[in-house]
Amino acid sequence: MKYAWIQQHSSAFAVETMCRFMRVSRSAYYAWLQRPESAGEKEDAELTELIKTAFAKSRATYGRAIALSPY
């Protein structure tokens, strides 16, 4: 999670500074960048796309609570 945050914000902040702030080594961060995506990460990405598709098909109402009238 820390590495993903660093990657996401690398255009705004220096990687060295973020690594120091997050208390991780730069070498570990760069090793993480080179690591292939795991099976769990691939499955999470696929599920995320399915959820986004279902949300779009439901006209952005999927998962929203409906206020029920007490009358």
Is residue 19 a part of any domain in this protein?
A: yes
- The verdict on residue 50 lying in a domain is yes
Cβ proximity of 26 and 19 under 8 Å:
yes
Residue 24: how many other CB atoms lie within 10 Å: 15
Sign of CA dihedral 43, 45, 50, 51: positive
Task: Report the number of distinct structural domains present in the chain.
Answer: 1
- The model's pLDDT over 21-52, given as tens digits with 9 standing for 90+, comes to 999 999 999 999 999 989 998 999 999 999 89
User: Which of 45, 46, 64 lies closest to 55 in space, CA to CA?
Assistant: 64
Report if residue 45 sits inside a domain.
yes
Residue 67 counted as domain residue: no
pLDDT at 20: 96
**Cβ proximity of 8 and 18 under 8 Å:** no
Residue 62 belongs to some domain of the structure: no
Is 12 part of a structural domain of the chain?
yes
Residue 32's domain comprises: 2-57
- Tell me, yes or no, whether 8 lies in a domain: yes
The model scores a pTM over 0.85: no
